[in-house]
Amino acid sequence: METLGYLGQGFGVATTPLNLLTALCGTLIGTVVGLLPGLGPINGVALLIPIAFALGLPPETSLILLAAVYLGCEYGGRISSILLNIPGEASAVMTAMDGHPLARQGKGGIALSISAAGSFMGGLIATIGVTIFAPLLAKWAVAFGPAEYFVMMVFAITCLAGMAGNKPMKTAVASLIGLLLACVGIDSNSGVYRFTFGSLGLADGIQFVVLVLGLFSISEILVLLERTYYGQSALKTSGRMLFNVKEAMFVKWTVLRSGVVGFFMGILPGAGATMASAVAYMSEKRMASKDNRFGDGDLRGLAAPETANSAAACGSMVPMLTLGVPGSGTTAVMLGALTLYNITPGPLLFQTDPQLVWGLIASLFIANVMLVVMNIPLIRVFTKILAVPYWALVPGIAIVTAIGVYGVHATTFDLFLMIVIGVVGYILRKFDFPLSAVLLGFILGGIMEQNLRRALSISNGDLSILWSSPITWGGWALVVLMIVLPMYRGWRQRQVARPANP
Amino acid sequence: MIYQRLFLTALLIVYAVLAYAATTYEAPFSYEPVGPRAFPLLLLALLAVSTVYLLIRPGQMAEENAETPLTGHVLGRLVLCVLALSLFAFFFEKLGFVVAAFLFAIAMCRLYNGRWVTSVITGAVMSVAFYVLFDRLLDVPLPLGVLSGLGV
């Protein structure tokens, strides 16, 4: 009941004219960014941070903007997946598997509308989940001391690596690089300059905006240069634009299951929308009867990943708000944006800043409704945007990126640093190191070290404080599970594969 | 695979340099047992171990990378792109935002297969529009550089 009261207050915040307008702009921008091939939610959210600052928006409004953009991207990503077979972002990869075949069969309109409805349901299920679980987790998380927090961060990092499928080691390296980057600058405990090599520009550490825009924007510009997609045209959407009752009934259980799966995958730190859509797709495929047409234009194969990735996008707000541990690369960016406002996310946020937290949760509901209302009639307009050529798009992205970085400190040093980070990011990407892990590591690095040092100060250097409470035991157990489980799965797969190829 | 191994080896050298630097970090006075160098050294040790593992078992390359092989032509364009970005950063304050962005946008349009005419128009529109949008409307101060004498 208490929760409903707070949620009511949240709606009070979210429905102010400014916040409604912000949510509307955010969902629109997000959809456009999401549907442009190559740009994903991280880029969209990162590019908007400097703008949100420049506009002087209050923290809850800019958070609503960023969340609306995030949800919008998850919606928009599917359009280019379905019509072009080019996923606008990683979490839309699974959508293309069945969405594009449907479009080729002339069912583009049905595919787009059913995926929009699926995204809506996913978002709705997950937002209800956030409303129920976030306050519970926040209450529980108040019991966390520095040692518990440290274990939690270790869990977040191992989760990331354990979930990363066939490249856990690369994810581990990427997140460790992120952790190390967080060490650059003055050590706040001792005042020692670390890894600055005499450069004044690095004394303050690497600025969050510089790192994000370097890793995601600059490296993306380089990747786009490589691609030869330029000139490829989208399939025309023809025929019926809206799904019918029979089709809706056909996917209803898929949507409900995928929404729940997506939400829980979203909560797990580091797993995020990409993993959620893959897991939902795979499990639906396994559950379907033998005569399924998965991969060949099955509506369930389209609904499952779309529902799950929207659900995961909302779900990833739970660890961000309650523990200050981002659930995905995009929430890591949002977390960074909050710290720019001097707001420390964590369990106490629910007490110190209820209007911020509940305003955000309420705006998730509103953004979802806006998206579905906007998406179904505006599909034809959005598909036109796919025709923007790269030569018009990329210079714009590059210039806005440069303005965003220059705006932080007004020094060109940051611009050069961003380019260097971008080139390194591009190389890491070429060798398949996930950049969102670097970002997550960077966000966690500072708090992780602070908590470790605080814990060891309390115990006077005795390491046993790290496993002195039930929460830490639970945490370490989860860490071990996250390491052992993927190894076991890999071993099982090899066992199964062996008889097939002797 | 060979390029990945070269990259990993380069990373190992970087770790070694950073570790050497980290060993010198000492707090002049300290009231906590850990100090500023333990955490970075721990990370570097973990990084070294996992990088060596990758050197021995590099894993599979992404499909995405197989799709767009780095030919000499692409590499040349990438170098040009980085050069354009660096020149943009270099002249950002010296020439001012409008002029630097104008030239940069033309270069980028050309790199992404835009035609000369459209590139020049895009450059002109973008440089002025972004200046007005950010500097005038959004209050992000951007340097005017050589145009500052015009009294705009």
Tokens of B72: 């000499």
Residues ≥6 apart with Cβ < 8 Å to B96: B142, B143, B144, B145, B146, B147, B148
Segment B105-110 mean pLDDT: 94
Q: What is the pLDDT of residues B67-96, one digit of tens each?
A: 456 677 888 889 999 999 999 999 999 999
Residue B52's SS3 state is helix
Kindly give the confidence (pLDDT) of every residue in chain A, 502 residues in length, as a single tens digit, with 9 standing for 90 and above.
Answer: 677 888 888 888 888 999 999 999 999 988 888 877 667 788 788 878 877 877 888 888 988 898 899 888 888 888 877 887 766 666 777 888 888 888 888 888 888 888 889 999 999 999 999 888 888 888 887 788 889 888 888 888 887 776 665 678 888 899 899 999 999 998 888 888 999 888 888 888 898 888 888 888 898 888 888 875 444 555 666 667 778 888 888 888 999 999 999 998 888 776 667 778 878 888 888 787 776 788 788 889 889 999 998 899 889 888 888 888 887 778 888 888 888 888 888 888 888 888 888 888 888 888 988 988 887 777 777 777 777 788 888 898 899 889 888 887 888 999 999 999 999 999 998 888 888 788 878 888 888 898 899 899 888 888 888 988 888 998 899 889 888 887 787 788 778 876 655 4
3-state helix vs strand vs coil in chain B, percent to 5: 75, 0, 25
In a domain, A367, yes or no: yes
In a domain, A32, yes or no: yes
A chain contacts of residue B35, beta-carbon cutoff 8 Å: 190
Residues ≥6 apart with Cβ < 8 Å to A399: B101, B104, B105, B126, B127, B130
User: Does ipTM top 0.85?
Assistant: yes
**How many CB atoms neighbour CB A222 within 10 A?**
21
Min Cα–Cα distance to chain A from B84, Å:
11
B chain contacts of residue A185, beta-carbon cutoff 8 Å: none
- Residue A165's pLDDT is what? 59
Tokens of B10: 């380069």
**How many CB atoms neighbour CB A348 within 10 A?**
14
* Cα–Cα distance for residue pair A211/A437, rounded to 1 Å: 13
In a domain, A501, yes or no: no
Number of separate domains in chain A: 1
Q: What is the 3-state secondary structure (H, E, C) of A335-399?
A: HHHHHHCCCCCCCCHHHHCHHHHHHHHHHHHHHHHHHHHHHHHHHHHHHHHCCCCHHHHHHHHHH
In a domain, A500, yes or no: no
Burial of A278 (0-12, 13-18, 19+ CB in 10 A): buried
Whether the CB of B111 is below 8 Å from some CB of chain A: the reply is yes
Residue A186's SS3 state is strand
In a domain, A164, yes or no: yes
* Residues B62 and A206: beta-carbon distance below 8 Å: no
In a domain, A235, yes or no: no
Min Cα–Cα distance to chain B from A121, Å:
31
pLDDT level of residue B64 (50, 70, 90 thresholds): very low
Higher pLDDT residue, A29 or B57?
A29
Of A225, A419, A457, the CB nearest to B33: A457
Q: pTM score, two decimals?
A: 0.81
A chain contacts of residue B60, beta-carbon cutoff 8 Å: 166-167, 432
What's the domain range around A324? 1-229+243-495
DSSP of A54-114? HTT--HHHHHHHHHHHHHHHHHHHHHHHHHHS--SSGGGHHHHHHHHHHIIIIIHHHHHHH
In a domain, A204, yes or no: yes
Question: Which of A167, A193, A206, A431 best tests the B interface by mutation, with the highest count of B CBs <10 A?
Answer: A431
- Residue A191's pLDDT is what? 84
* Cα–Cα distance for residue pair B101/A399, rounded to 1 Å: 7
Higher pLDDT residue, A32 or B109?
B109
Angstrom distances, CA of residue B73 to CA of A380, A452, B61, B70, B87: 37, 49, 21, 8, 21
Q: Which of these, A207, A248, A7, A215, lies nearest to A114 by C-alpha position?
A: A248
Higher pLDDT residue, A131 or B13?
B13
Residues ≥6 apart with Cβ < 8 Å to A340: A49, A53, A208
A chain contacts of residue B142, beta-carbon cutoff 8 Å: 403, 406
* Cα–Cα distance for residue pair A47/A458, rounded to 1 Å: 40
* Cα–Cα distance for residue pair B20/B41, rounded to 1 Å: 9
Which stretches of A272-403 are assigned E, i.e. beta strand? none
In a domain, A111, yes or no: yes
DSSP of B105-134? HHHHHHHTT--HHHHHHHHHHHHHHHHIII
Q: A234: which DSSP letter? A: P
